[in-house]
Each structure stands twice: as C-alpha cells, then as structure tokens.
Amino acid sequence: MGILLSVTPFRQRPGYCGPASLKMVLDFYGVRVSEKRLVELSGCTRSAGVSADGLLMAAATFGFGGAIKDNCELRDLRHHVQKRNTPVIVDWFDFDGGHYSVVIGIDRENVYLQDPGLGHRRALKLRTFKRLWFDFPGDFVQDKDDLIVRRMLVIRPGKELQGRRQSEKRSSGASETR
C-alpha cells in the first residue's frame, strides 16, 4: 500500500454521498461544515442525489475552487493524489447506482477510497475500479450520451484561502505533511 492522504472518514445519511464526500475534502483542508449544510447548499435530494456542479457551488461558498473532469485516466488520479496531495472526489457505480467517494491513495494494485456509504476506507483493485468508474442520470441508461465516464472532481482552496494557509504555516513554523 502506498501513502494514503489523511482524510477523516465520515458516514453519510442515505442518498447524501456527494455532500458527505465534499465534507471529507473540506475537512481535509481544515474547514468544518455539517453534511446537512452541504446538502442545502448543493441542492442534493435523497431521491436524485446531487450533480457535480452542485458540489462545486457548495464548495465555492467556502472559498474553494474546483474542476469537473471527465474521461480521466488512473494517471490523472495519481497526479492529483500523489503529486499534489489533493484528495479527489470520484463518481462511480456502486451496487445499484451512482456513488461519490474520495480517492485518498492509489498504488500498482489498488485505488483507496474513503467511502461515505461505508463510513471507512475501502480498497478496489485497479481493474475493478476502472470497470466501475462511470455513472448515468436516472434509473437506467436511456441513451449512450447519458453515460458519465471516469469523472473526478478536484476541489482546492481558492487563492485567498491558500495564501492564508501558507501564512499560518509560516507563522507556526509548521510544514505540510499530508
């Protein structure tokens, strides 16, 4: 197992995997916010879940920027998680529907997720994860254009928050160890 980012696990309420995943990412950066508040800000519902755009809107409320990237490769996950020390939210197919989780590590064999559905870390073989890294709106695929393939959300502090974090580190003499 490679190095895993220290993302604190969180167990979601039913239907709220998106806000729960965002909560874990914000918490990683030191921003404490409730799942309930993120549900409200993102427009999430238990029956329909939440869009990636809704998660980015909620993150922006706290000064975070982000990007939605489709058709990604495992190397894209490695770049963000290993080289930039950035937890990444992925949209994948878990059991009978779309599901958001946070990638906290990746090595030659596995992708490591903080899975809000479980409330703890899980490892998926790379081959298995690649087969499941897709989603679609609704209960079934109506058209091939409905498929969302290999989507990830990269959410990072905005420039103002990054500057504040850097000055806090300098004043405390701390160095980032994540």
Q: Assess whether pLDDT exceeds 80 at residue 17.
A: yes
Is there a contact between 59 and 37 (Cβ–Cβ < 8 Å)? Answer: no
- Residue 41 is assigned to a structural domain of this protein: yes
In the chain, the number of structural domains is 1
User: Treating both helix axes as pointing N-terminal to C-terminal, what angle do 52-60 and 35-42 enclose, rounded to 10 degrees?
Assistant: 110
- Residue 10 is assigned to a structural domain of this protein: no
Helices (H), the chain: 17-28, 35-42, 52-60, 74-78, 126-132, 159-172
Query: Which residues span the domain enclosing 148?
Result: 17-161
- Residue 170 is assigned to a structural domain of this protein: no
- Residue 166 is assigned to a structural domain of this protein: no
Q: Assess whether pLDDT exceeds 90 at residue 43.
A: yes
CA distance 127 to 34: 34
- Residue 178 is assigned to a structural domain of this protein: no
- Residue 65 is assigned to a structural domain of this protein: yes
Is there a contact between 72 and 95 (Cβ–Cβ < 8 Å)? Answer: no
At 138, the pLDDT band (50, 70, 90 cuts) reads confident
- CATH for 85: 3.90.70.10
- Residue 99 is assigned to a structural domain of this protein: yes
Average pLDDT, the chain: 90
| pLDDT tens digits, one per residue of 163-173 | 444 444 444 34
DSSP reduced 3-state for 106: strand
- Residue 3 is assigned to a structural domain of this protein: no
Q: Assess whether pLDDT exceeds 90 at residue 1.
A: no
